[in-house]
Amino acid sequence: MIDEVPDTEVTTLARYDEIIDVRSPGEFAEDRLPGAVNLPVLSDAERAEVGAIYKQESKFIARRVGAAYVARNVAHHLETALAGKPAGYRPLLYCWRGGMRSGAMATVLAQVGWRTGVVKGGYKTWRRCVVDGLRDNDAPINIILLDGQTGTAKSEILGRLAALGVQTLDLEALAAHRGSVFGALSAKAQPCQKFFESQLWNALRAFDRNRPILVEAESNRIGRCELPRRLWQAMLAAPHIVVRSDAKTRADYLVHAYADITQDNAVINAAIDRLAPYQSKEQLALWRNMAGAAEFTALAASLMRDHYDPLYDRSRARRANKTLAEFSLGGLDSPGIKAAAEKIRGVVERQAR
């Protein structure tokens, strides 16, 4: 049996065991429903071939060739990824617009005996939900910013707060980037903009709207990922909690937090080069020399003093965010971060509606 899942239910998927994206790997890589697995009925090359035949020869030949590819690929999935699924398995399928690709695979899975769902309108239905939620909708988002200068362990504090039950939105984790020119994660590529937005909307829609969401203060771009209009406007207007620490403690923390890039001098120099529009040649040369001599604590201290702290001060001066509380961090080790998180949790909980 095949269930057609309408637009109004596409974000309520708990009754299904698995979400299957049957589009090509290239389409899947750009964006997909969070949690979906990719079992394509056409590869990228097969999809391109069928599309060319459709345009240049005939619809009939394209459908015949495409059906042969689909049949072989669905058979492969039944023999591999789906081979161990039980009789009660309930998959939800979607393709680009809920048409032939998802319908073809759903027919086969339903014949196996699985209660199979197909998203009406396909991926485009989900994308409309995301765009409406992040760009077109003007309803306010109940946000509090966690603010502080570079090196004040904001991301780590945010993670500790999430473990304590505070609603947190970790933008840097979703963007796979730490938010500065040194922020790229060596082991993980950033998502495409559309998938960043899909993850963002999936997280936001799960929150209790009557409780604040704690978000680290960021610029409107994290690496190559841009914050959507509705979220960015909410962040500009949000009150904030400020954390502070002395320069030496912050420099030591940064060397630890960015240990992955201190192993690669080429990566450090490339990041320093991206500061060229903002710094003199002499300053850039000094930073490169520090990196070459493995003087990473001195490099972190200088970058903060001569670039990031002034940048933060200018940015904060342009904002008029209400300050809910300020905390001086005694240390950025585990006990210090735990203590800060406990204090911040108290402030956030008092702001619940």
Please state which of the ranges 140-154, 276-290, 319-333, 337-351 shows the lowest mean pLDDT: 319-333
pTM score, whole prediction:
0.91
- Which residue would you say has higher pLDDT here, 316 or 144? 144
Does the fold of domain 139-350 match that of domain 2-131?
A: no
**pLDDT (0 to 100) of residue 183:** 79
- The domain spans of the chain are 2-131, 139-350
Do residues 191 and 225 lie in contact, with contact meaning Cβ atoms separated by under 8 Å?
Answer: yes
**pLDDT (0 to 100) of residue 126:** 93
| pLDDT, mean of residues 309-337 | 87
Q: Which CATH number fits domain 2-131: 2.60.40.10, 3.40.250.10, 1.10.3720.10, 3.40.50.1820?
A: 3.40.250.10
Do residues 181 and 114 lie in contact, with contact meaning Cβ atoms separated by under 8 Å?
Answer: no
% of the chain surpassing 70 pLDDT: 96
Residue 344 has pLDDT above 70, yes or no: yes
**pLDDT (0 to 100) of residue 324:** 95
Task: Name the pLDDT band for 261 (thresholds 50, 70, 90).
Answer: confident
**pLDDT (0 to 100) of residue 343:** 94
Asked whether the CA dihedral 260, 265, 266, 267 is positive or negative, the reply is positive
How does the average pLDDT of the chain come out, rounded?
92
Question: Rounded to whole angstroms, how far apart are CA atoms 107 and 299?
Answer: 61
| pLDDT, mean of residues 222-240 | 95
**pLDDT (0 to 100) of residue 347:** 95
Residue 13 has pLDDT above 90, yes or no: no
Strand residue runs (E) in the chain: 2-5, 18-21, 37-38, 91-94, 116-119, 143-148, 168-169, 213-216, 221-222, 225-226, 240-244, 323-328
Please state which of the ranges 56-70, 75-89, 230-244, 255-269 shows the lowest mean pLDDT: 255-269
| pLDDT, mean of residues 311-331 | 85
Question: Rounded to whole angstroms, how far apart are CA atoms 107 and 110?
Answer: 5
**pLDDT (0 to 100) of residue 1:** 59
Task: Name the pLDDT band for 48 (thresholds 50, 70, 90).
Answer: very high
159-186 pLDDT, tens digit per residue, is 999 999 999 999 999 999 988 888 787 6
Residues labelled catalytic: 95
Residue 272 has pLDDT above 80, yes or no: yes
| pLDDT, mean of residues 279-287 | 95
Residue 93 has pLDDT above 80, yes or no: yes
% of the chain surpassing 90 pLDDT: 80
Question: Rounded to whole angstroms, how far apart are CA atoms 70 and 64?
Answer: 10
CATH class of the structural domain 139-350? alpha beta
**pLDDT (0 to 100) of residue 5:** 66
| pLDDT, mean of residues 251-268 | 90
